[in-house]
């Protein structure tokens, strides 16, 4: 029988009533003759609550126990979804990550899926089970411990299952009816896209659009999974939602496809660093070893053999970055005048594969921000994106102004 993967996010399984609504949707697909893998998130707000409890109990927590606690939200919804389906006379069974097993790396709280063995589930389908409900976001490390896949990780569980089982499609049900030109919560003019290319979705996700976890898009692209984002609160039609697909399958031809923002960005500056060969390696080597995700980097003009080095990283990693840099000073690998951390910044990015062949996008972006009186602190570009760091208080304004400037509310 053909297999379908259906993933329900936190708001779609927020209480028993919502779980029933989601289960009805699953029932429709079962009636069509599909074997369905349902991936569930924790009820909305649950994961945040669990993370809060861990921090309250142990500020410098053991990452293995963090995962033991934080993964539990999905166990509850998996069991409830299986029970709900059974109540509807649909043969269903729930599976926690370790039972499948979903094998992952041992990077607790940010583990990568290494392998999914679908044999157990396949055998159950062969025996007449119609739905396997799998707890998203969790897996099993080589050491036999429970791991989690990072925030939003249920999306990745879903795509990984779709790839492993050769599913016909992977449907991601969420609280918006698709992928928009920007976060509809920030701009009322945001427009739903019928299709978006894997590459663009990958950039948008990694630059802050949390509608899909970045790794889920990476996997979908690598394994050519037909990935759809749609609302669990609207009628399901064949053309509902947004299809994430290959570039060749897209008709729209806008230069910029979407605007992403990331609120939790920090700008760090090392003042007066010796400008010598090897200095960048001496700074960014220890940062990388400490697990700091450096994004933008700017080295300024040097004067008298000294220069300033600026980089951006997630706000939550500032303390870790400071610690790594101070350690590098103590071991004599680097030396600097002072270290400034600006945590009141946000990153705004314009993304579009059309940028590959059209110039002038950066100039238009900078002009738009300047017309709004917004100062740009750092700039970074790649083939299909331009990102800027600005004061966080201008974040919404910048997103809306850029959305207007690139006519994203209009079909192109
Ligand atoms: P779920 O709990 O279903 O996984 P998430 O909260 O993780 O849902 O993701 C959905 C949210 O992503 C939306 O409510 C929306 O605010 C946000 N979002 C950010 N950027 C976009 C975008 N470009 N298109 C759609 N939603 C977006
Ligand atoms: N419950 C997890 C989170 O909130 C995973 C997910 O929902 O995708 O991050
Ligand atoms: Mg999510």
Read off the pLDDT of residues 249-260 as tens digits, 9 standing for 90 and up: 988 778 999 999
Instruction: Give the DSSP per-residue string, 306-338.
Output: EEEEEEEEEGGGHHHHHHHHHHHHHTTS---SE
Token pair for 60: 């410098």
Q: What is the DSSP letter of 110?
A: S
Q: Which residue of 48, 155, 172, 176 sits with most ligand 1 atoms within 8 Å of its CB, as the best mutation to test the pocket?
A: 176
Ligand with an atom nearest the CA of residue 174? 1
In this structure, which ligand is nearest to the CA of 12? 1
Burial of 330 (0-12, 13-18, 19+ CB in 10 A): exposed
- Bridge partners of residue 221, in order along the sequence: none
User: What residues in the chain have per-residue pLDDT under 50?
Assistant: none
Tell me, what's the pLDDT at 30? Answer: 97
The strand order across the sheet containing 138-140 reads 113-116, 102-104, 138-140, 146-148
Could you tell me the two tokens for 349? 């990015």
Cβ of 217 below 6 Å from ligand 1:
no
Instruction: Write phi, then psi, for 228 (nearest 5 degrees).
Output: -125, 140
pLDDT of residue 59: 85
Nearest CA to ligand 1 atom 27: 183
Strand, helix or coil at 99? helix
Omega of the bond leading into 75 within 30 degrees of 0 (cis): no
Is pTM, for the whole model, over 0.85? yes
Tokens in use for 114? 């290494």
Residue in this structure with the two tokens 């208080």, named with its chain if needed: 393
**Selection from 39, 27, 30, 34 nearest residue 2 by Cα:** 34
For residues 228 and 324, the answer to whether their CB atoms sit within 8 Å is no
> How far is 15 from 19, CA to CA, in rounded Å?
6
pLDDT of residue 294: 94
Closest-CA residue to 10 (of 149, 159, 173, 150): 173
CA of 42 to the centre of ligand 2 (A): 6
Predicted local confidence at residue 238, as pLDDT: 65
Cα of 328 vs centre of ligand 2, distance in Å, is 35
User: Which protein residue has the closest C-alpha to ligand 2 atom 9?
Assistant: 151
| Closest C-alpha to ligand 1, atom 12 | 211
């Amino acid at each position: 029988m053909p297999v379908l993967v259906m993933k329900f996010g936190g708001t779609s399984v927020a209480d028993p009533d919502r779980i029933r609504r989601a289960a009805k949707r699953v029932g429709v697909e079962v009636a069509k003759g599909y074997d369905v893998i349902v991936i569930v998130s924790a009820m909305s707000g649950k994961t945040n609550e669990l993370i809060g409890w861990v921090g309250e109990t142990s500020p410098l927590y053991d990452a293995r126990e963090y995962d033991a606690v934080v993964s539990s939200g999905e166990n509850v919804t998996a069991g409830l979804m299986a029970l709900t389906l059974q109540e509807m006379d649909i043969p269903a069974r729930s599976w926690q990550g370790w039972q499948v097993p979903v094998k992952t790396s041992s990077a607790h709280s940010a583990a990568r899926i290494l392998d999914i063995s679908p044999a157990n589930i396949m055998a159950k389908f062969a025996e007449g089970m119609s739905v396997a409900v799998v707890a998203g976001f969790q897996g099993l490390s080589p050491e036999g411990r429970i791991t989690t896949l990072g925030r939003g990780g249920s999306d990745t569980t879903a795509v990984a299952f779709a790839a492993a089982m050769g599913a016909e499609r992977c449907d991601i049900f969420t609280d918006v009816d698709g992928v928009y030109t920007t976060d509809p919560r920030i701009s009322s003019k945001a427009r739903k896209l019928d299709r978006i290319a894997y590459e663009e979705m990958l950039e948008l996700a990694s630059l802050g659009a949390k509608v899909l976890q970045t790794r889920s898009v990476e996997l979908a692209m690598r394994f050519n999974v037909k990935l759809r984002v749609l609302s669990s609160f609207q009628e399901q039609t064949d053309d509902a939602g947004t299809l994430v697909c290959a570039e060749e399958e897209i008709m729209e031809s806008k230069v910029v496809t979407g605007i992403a923002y990331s609120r939790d960005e920090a700008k760090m500056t090392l003042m007066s660093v010796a400008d010598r060969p090897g200095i960048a390696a001496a700074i960014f080597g220890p940062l990388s070893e400490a697990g700091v995700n450096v994004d933008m980097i700017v080295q300024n003009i040097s004067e008298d053999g000294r220069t300033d080095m600026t980089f951006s990283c997630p706000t939550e990693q500032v303390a870790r970055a400071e610690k790594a840099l101070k350690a590098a000073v103590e071991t004599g690998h680097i030396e600097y005048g002072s270290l400034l951390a600006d945590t009141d910044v946000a990153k705004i990015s314009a993304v579009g594969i059309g940028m590959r062949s059209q110039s002038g996008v950066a100039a238009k972006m900078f002009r738009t921000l300047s017309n709004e009186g917004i100062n740009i602190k750092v700039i970074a570009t790649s083939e299909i994106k331009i990102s800027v760091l600005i004061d966080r208080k201008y974040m919404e304004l910048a997103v809306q102004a850029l959305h207007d400037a690139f006519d994203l509310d209009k079909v192109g």
